[in-house]
Amino acid sequence: VQFLKLQWKSCRFPPGPTPFPIIGSIWWINFRADHGSLKKLAKRYGNISTLWLGHKPFVVLHGFQAVKDGLTTHSEDVSGRLQTTVFKRMANGKGILVSNGLIWKHQRRFGIGTLRKLGMGNKGMECGIQTEAHYLVKFFRDTNGKSFTKFVHAVSNVICAVVFGHRFSLEDETFHQLIEHLCRMPAPQMCEVLPGVMNHIPGPHLKALSCCDFVRSFIRKEIQSHRERGTVDEPQDFIDFYLDQMTQNVPDSTYDEDNMVQSIFDLFLAGSETTATTLRWALLYMVAYPDIQEKVQKELDAALGPSHLICYEDRKKLPYTNAVIHEIMRYGNIVLITIPRQAVKNTTVLGYQLPKGTLIIPNLDSALFDPKYWETPHQFNPGHFLDKDGNFVAREAFLAFSADKFIDSHRVCLGEVLARMELFIIFFKEVNTQIIFGSTMKPHPYKICAVLR
């Protein structure tokens, strides 16, 4: 009976493999939503298909057009986030990244507005990024080439300056603890499968949750020291602005300390590892494609010179470098599928009527490698972002930050402009001050025994 019920239910959704009670249809992709299995799914069922996790349908969007139309035609309808066990333990419905409804609207609007007031997109934040880029290169010189491990420190420090009003030294022990806990936080999936049981069994999932607690208590200490300092005439950082907002008389206000802590937590979570990983890919590609590195260095030398203090505006004079950074983001493809969306009301996606609560998985990877939109999708080719005269061209299929151009619209990356500034300035600083090369190929460690002849 359960089987028949499920078949009846699945008829109303986009096509997909046959679902069975309990296991659904994810058996068809070997229980793994990775690049290869989602490609296989699209090949068999088309650009919109359904996977069932037990009795829960996930609608998968594949290819640039499907991802774009699916997320933007009725963008507000598909702007929800699923409240999974992990997300509840991580955020409890607060903050920006996985919240919904009024809390999400308030916190997101406040977050964007405040980041702009604090200089996102202009000189304000540029200065903080230049400072971090400077310390990275200094650290590189002092340690003879080990700056690569410090990307996450540099980009987290930019966020520290914005939210706490100060940066940390790269040697600071407390800061190291913050970074360590931030990096150990990836979602503990087992809690999703067996929530009740996993809460009592030790393992990486409990470690990840205790890392969340550490980061939150770190943020609370900073808020406490702001409170002790008392009100300031001019708010200097995110916490100042938020404390001020809490005193305003806003109808149905959701501005409280828990939401402040979680919003700051979300900025760290969404903004540290993402940007740092992209920078690590950047260096790897410069090692793998030395001819491209050389062309970037030539363009920098010709347009700016070695002692120039780089600013984001300079990208307009550096079309090739700008194209290389975009190609790093496209080819590095760090997100694969974006955090699943949920329909907040009955809606239509690519002609299918989807009921409220349906989960939607936009496969960003499939847009960044869509052969209809990229000339050589599986090659690292900065030419994707250049016209025949060598001018930089933006590409509509470049959905690294999700599927909408406008930050004020629903659920796109809130830190896109900050990320772009960081990538441009830090990449410039690295390539302009050093030649990046890989060391020799070494054999894996092995044990050897010599016997006398």
Q: Does 413 bind ligand HEM (CB under 6 A)?
A: yes
Which residues within the stretch 367-406 sit at the binding site for ligand HEM (CB under 6 A)? 400-402
- For the chain, give me the number of helices (H) and strands (E)? 18, 6
Convert residues 417-446 into a mask of x (bound to ligand HEM by CB under 6 A) and - (unbound).
-xx---------------------------
> Nearest to residue 282, comparing CAs of 241, 251, 322, 240?
322
> Nearest to residue 353, comparing CAs of 59, 61, 62?
59
Q: Are 429 and 133 in contact (CB under 8 A)?
A: yes
Query: Quick one: which segment of 8-16, 61-69, 263-271, 431-439 binds ligand HEM (CB under 6 A)?
Result: 263-271
**CA distance linking residue 314 with residue 317, whole number of Å:** 5
Convert residues 101-140 into a mask of x (bound to ligand HEM by CB under 6 A) and - (unbound).
-------x--------------------------------
Nearer to ligand HEM, 266 or 430 (CB): 266
| Count of residues that bind ligand HEM according to CB under 6 A | 25
424: how many CB neighbours lie within 10 A of its CB?
A: 22
Nearer to ligand HEM, 59 or 96 (CB): 96
Q: Does 267 bind ligand HEM (CB under 6 A)?
A: yes
**CA distance linking residue 179 with residue 182, whole number of Å:** 5
**Six-digit token pair at 160?**
């520290």
Nearer to ligand HEM, 6 or 325 (CB): 325
Nearer to ligand HEM, 51 or 155 (CB): 155
Among 160, 412, 421, 431, binds ligand HEM (CB under 6 A): 412
Residue in the structure block whose two tokens are 């028949």: 4
In the complex, least distance from residue 279 CB atom to ligand HEM, rounded to whole angstroms? 9
Burial classification of residue 409, based on how many CB atoms lie within 10 Å of its CB (0-12 exposed, 13-18 middle, 19 or more buried): middle
| C-alpha 337: how far from chain center | 11
Which residues within the stretch 156-185 sit at the binding site for ligand HEM (CB under 6 A)? 159
394: how many CB neighbours lie within 10 A of its CB?
A: 9
Query: Which stretches of the chain bind ligand HEM, using CB under 6 A?
Result: 96-97, 108, 159, 266-267, 270-271, 274-275, 278, 334-335, 338-339, 400-402, 411-415, 418-419
